[in-house]
Structure 1
Amino acid sequence: MSAHPALIEEIRSASRTMVRELGFMRATLAATDYSPSAVHSLLEIEAQTGLTAAQLVQLLDLDKSSVSRMVAKLIKAGELVESADSDGRVKRLQLTRQGKRTVAAIHAYGQLQVETALEHLNPSQQQAVAQGLAAYAQALNAQRTGESQAPGSAVEISTGYRPGVVGRVTEMHAAFYARHSGFGQFFESRVASGLAEFVGRLDQPCNQIWVATLNERIVGSVAIDGQDLGNHQAHLRWFILDDGCRGGGVGRQLLREAVAFCDGFGFEAIELATFKGLDAARRLYEAEGFALTHEEQGSQWGSVVTEQQFTRLRPDAR
């Protein structure tokens, strides 16, 4: 899926700024006397015990001669030692005591650099930075190595209440529907109050919520309220995904978990309310057996939209 040219330029501009601010334009890095590639070599040798120079070539994506010269300089400087395996054919790199002190200083420098920068962001922004950087780094690596990684491949699905779920799920709803439908404070307040009331009923076995997390940040949700409709019907509510996780199969996984829960519990039908124009979500609903049963225009959310109701009957009740 191609990205908008303006988004590409925004990411490129941010990348250039990061390169400058993190010090990669300088001859040395992280308050050491070593080049950026040498600093990264020391960090990787610490992280992956027993690396060889050949493995370092692949890991850093540098040519063999450059790595050989760099390793030789680090050995001469007393940061590394090279030890041969029992057969003498493979030489592995290890940090010396001096090298361990150097790496510890590099870590301290980097941690302070990140901590100081994060002080300028609120907790939600901090999590967004962690999520975005991790995903972008994985995408860049996949581009270089040719290994494909789906947007949702590192996402985990869990059930039940977790700290921050009311605020984060409300935030995702408010941001998405403000863009899509022009909804404002009234809609956000309704989502927050309804969700807060619902999580107080999660002790009832007919109620459940599923959350998708990426790097401990909530990026998706869906809930089944088994009480508010009655008549052996379940209400599917608060189905939402973070923009960065759309198209990776996370929504399908969340929806299937909710539907399986309803079938296992014995609900005769599942109902959900949504709005016309959300075509990607509608395709997911219809793939799980939901059908449009009612629609009408309404303005109760702050702007005129076409409200829709979808219903799925339990397979053996059809």
Structure 2
Amino acid sequence: MADPEQALVDGIRAASRQMVRELGFMQATLAATDYPASAVHALIELGKHGSMSAAAIAACLGLDKSSVSRMLRKLVDAGELTETVSDHDGRIKNLSLTARGRRTLAAVEAYGRRQVEEALQHMAPEARGLVHAGLEVYARALAQARSGAAGAVISPVRICPGYRVGVIGRVTEMHGLFYARHAGFGQYFESQVATGLAEFCGRLQRPGNGLWVALQGERIVGSVAIDGEDLGSGLAHLRWFIVDGAVRGGGVGQRLLQAALAHCDGYGFAETRLWTFAGLEAARHLYEARGFVLGEERQGRQWGETVTEQLFVRPGVAG
């Protein structure tokens, strides 16, 4: 039987190799320029930081100083970079982009964006956030492993009941970012989330109501609520279910739902309902796996944009 851990490692390595090839890093030059990958990355970092020493660029790129110095000299000679003496240490020369370098960088950025945009067109909308979050976590872990930095192990996520300071703003932020990307929602939607959640938190202590947050360290990375009042007697309303992209796909959503539905069953609600939007297949799978069925589907504009709204219903344990 294959070792699951080894299969995971091999799978990530294979995907990494394919990304390197697809992004063009196997070529002598990169991003439709006349420069190798190290030079293109140096231009990008100088564009971000404005001015850097050769030693700082070498450390940032993870390359030895001698090879970086030769590469930077070629960029200076090509008119892409200019050198100035540091105000703090006359022995150090800082590098920055020339007008030509800024034009080259703009072309590099446009090329890179086109690559990503074209790839995103081949993904389901709900997969895009997963890719972004996964790559960020993976890149950060690789950097920590290379540097030997403490804290390379990501903090576990714990599920905690009740109000937390900052929860209204943080949950609103997660909703705003996610639904702007996936449904084109804007200020109106974000304001509605903040207003509704603030009102709910004011009656959180009433019987039947509940709020659970996912915490990574002290950072809120997910939430779910059960409103036992707004739909009428015997009905639970599952609301504000969201998981931050950085932890999505790791079972956090399942744990939040489990806590919320255990509350519903313990309280004896006859039915739990939730509203969502068509196209969020990962979330729909979670709902259906826990006994929800699609009860209604309709076009609506209550959040500021026209979407296909879906009502999912789960009978209570005695239902």
Tell whether the structures are fold-level matches, with TM greater than 0.5: yes
Q: What TM-score, normalized by structure 2, do the two folds share? A: 0.57
* Residue 171 (structure 2) aligns with: 159
Please state how far the C-alpha of 1:159 moved relative to its aligned partner: 3.5
- CA spacing shift, 1:120–1:219, aligned 2, 3 Å: farther
In 2, Cα distance between the equivalents of 1:165 and 1:72? 44
Counterpart residue type for residue 127 of structure 1: G
In structure 2, give the amino acid aligned to 1:48.
H
Q: Show the counterpart of 1:206.
A: 203
Report the alpha carbon displacement of residue 64 of structure 1 after superposing the two structures with TM.
1.1
Normalised to the residue count of structure 1, the TM-score between the two structures is 0.57
Matches for 1:245-284 after TM superposition, within 5 Å: 245=247, 271=263, 273=265
Give the structure 2 partner of residue 69 of structure 1. 70
Give the secondary-structure state (helix, strand or coil) at the position aligned to 1:25: coil
Given that 2:132 and 2:245 are in contact with CA atoms closer than 8 Å, whether structure 1 keeps it comes out as no
Give me the CA root mean square deviation. 4.9
Aligned amino acid, residue 37 of structure 2: P
Summarize the Cα distance change of 1:301–1:144 in structure 2 as closer, same or farther, 3 Å threshold: same
Q: 1:41 and 2:49 equivalent?
A: no
- Deviating beyond 6 angstroms after TM superposition, the runs of 4 or more aligned structure 1 residues are 210-214, 234-244
Contact 1:78 1:98 in 2 (8 A): yes
1:123 pairs with 2:125: yes
Matches within 5 A, 1:18-29: 18-29=19-30
Query: Shift in Å at residue 19 of structure 1?
Result: 0.5
C-alpha deviations, 1:147-187, integer Å up to 9, x for none?
A: 22453699x96235936989xxxxxxxxxxxxxxxxxxxxx
Contact 2:43 2:105 in 1 (8 A): yes
Aligned-residue offset at 1:93: 0.3
Correspondence for 1:52: 53
* CA 242–105 in structure 1, closer or farther in 2 if over 3 Å, else same: closer
Checking the alignment, whether the CA contact within 8 Å between 1:236 and 1:271 is kept in structure 2 is no
Q: Is the 8 A contact 1:159 1:211 kept in 2?
A: no
Verify the 8 A CA contact 1:236 1:272 in the aligned structure 2.
Answer: no
Task: State the alpha-carbon separation in 2 of the partners of residues 165 and 243 from structure 1.
Answer: 8
Measured in 1, the distance between the counterparts of 2:46 and 2:156 equals: 27
Q: Are the structure 2 counterparts of residues 152 and 120 from structure 1 closer, same or farther at C-alpha, using a change threshold of 3 Å? A: farther
Residue 223 of structure 1 aligns with an amino acid whose one-letter code is: A
- Aligned AA for 2:101? G
Match of 1:12 in 2: 13
Aligned-partner SS, 1:82: strand
Secondary structure of residue in 2 paired with 1:56: helix
- Give the equivalent residue in structure 2 for 1:278: none
Q: Is the 8 A contact 1:29 1:36 kept in 2?
A: yes
Which stretches in structure 1 are left out of the alignment for 5+ residues? Answer: 167-198, 259-269, 275-299, 309-318
**Distance in 2 of aligned mates of 1:54 and 1:164:** 37
Partner of 1:110: 112
Task: Summarize the alignment of residues 184-199 of structure 1 with structure 2, pairs less than 5 Å apart.
Answer: none
Question: What is the SS of the residue equivalent to 2:82?
Answer: strand
The code of the aligned residue for 2:15 comes to: A
Residues of 2 paired with 1:146 and 1:209: CA distance? Answer: 38
Q: Which amino acid aligns with 1:206?
A: R
Against the structure 1 CA distance between its residues 242 and 108, is the aligned structure 2 distance closer, same or farther, given a 3 Å change threshold?
closer
Aligned to 1:144: 146
Q: How many residues align?
A: 229
The offset of 1:102, in angstroms, is 0.5
Of 100, 103, 109, 1:101 maps to: 103
Percent of paired sites with the same residue = 49
Does the 8 Å contact 1:53/1:92 carry over to 2?
yes
Q: Which runs of 5+ in 2 are unaligned?
A: 158-165, 180-193, 205-209, 267-289, 293-315
State yes or no: 1:82 paired with 2:83: yes
User: Deviations 1:91-123 (Å, cap 9, x if unpaired)?
Assistant: 100111111111011001101111111111121
| Other structure's SS at 2:31 match | coil
